[in-house]
Amino acid sequence: MSTVYEEFGRTRQKARTRSQLIAATRALIAAGTASPTVEQAAEAASVSRTTAYRYFPSQKALLIAAHPEIQTSSLLPDEPGDDPVTRLALAIEKFVDLVLESEGQQRTMLRLSLESDATDLPLRQGRAIGWFVDALAPLEPRLGKADIYRLAVAIRSAVGIESLVWLTDIAGLSREEAARQLRWTAQAMLAHALAEGLP
């Protein structure tokens, strides 16, 4: 049980098997299989089903691990200016594009987050809040940090994949119409916050 053994020995093997499984799962999803079977993922990774379950306790865990994370601290371009309306418009534009690009994945994650297996993993962490806080930063002298955060939360709650799904699946809007609607909603909320304040 030497430390060296654990840290530099088989650990590499374990990490490799794990990433093989994740890569294989991503490939299957990209190839059109919305929710690959654990067996499918294992086979695609040239690994036995048993081993796959050793790394991920459930199909849900595997799918979550295969979910590509967006590593950006800001959605804004280089020179976004100081106008919060413009900044929010830019951020929302980019955000909606991101959601549309990975709509399938987003839907899968939304579905998984609703499956009440107590198996709660680091799922759906709400990165968009930070992006919108960033876009609204110039409002700080006016609203204060707490209200900016609350406004960012409020906006995100109204313009995420959840609303997009409803607009397209239930209301029957096209993806373009739905995207336009989400952008309008965000601006409406900012405008109302500026005119009347938050609740």
Collapsing DSSP states into helix, strand and coil, what is residue 186? helix
Spatial separation of the C-alpha atoms in residues 12 and 6, rounded to whole Å: 9
CB 63 → DNA: shortest distance, Å?
9
Q: Please tell me whether residue 160 binds a copy of itself under the rule CB under 8 A.
A: yes
The item of a copy of itself, DNA, none sharing an interface with residue 134, based on CB under 5 to 8 Å by kind, is none
Collapsing DSSP states into helix, strand and coil, what is residue 117? coil
* Comparison of 23 and 89: residue with beta carbon closer to a copy of itself: 89
Q: Token pair for residue 139?
A: 């409002």
CB 2 → DNA: shortest distance, Å?
6
* Comparison of 52 and 182: residue with beta carbon closer to a copy of itself: 182
Q: Please answer whether residues 168 and 178 qualify as being in contact, where contact means their C-beta atoms are separated by less than 8 angstroms.
A: yes
- How distant, in Å, are the alpha carbons of 27, 34, 44, 47, 161 from that of 40? 11, 12, 6, 10, 27
Spatial separation of the C-alpha atoms in residues 134 and 184, rounded to whole Å: 19
Q: Please tell me whether residue 22 binds a copy of itself under the rule CB under 8 A.
A: no
Q: Residue 57 CB: number of other CB atoms within 10 A?
A: 12
CB 161 → a copy of itself: shortest distance, Å?
9
* Comparison of 55 and 132: residue with beta carbon closer to DNA: 55
Which 101-120 positions form the footprint of a copy of itself (CB under 8 A)? 107, 110-111, 113-116
Residue found under tokens 């709650």? 157
Q: Please tell me whether residue 184 binds a copy of itself under the rule CB under 8 A.
A: yes
For a copy of itself, the binding residues (CB under 8 A) are: 34, 107, 110-111, 113-116, 124-126, 129, 153-154, 156-160, 162-163, 165-167, 169-171, 173, 180-181, 183-185, 187-189, 191-193, 195-196, 198-199
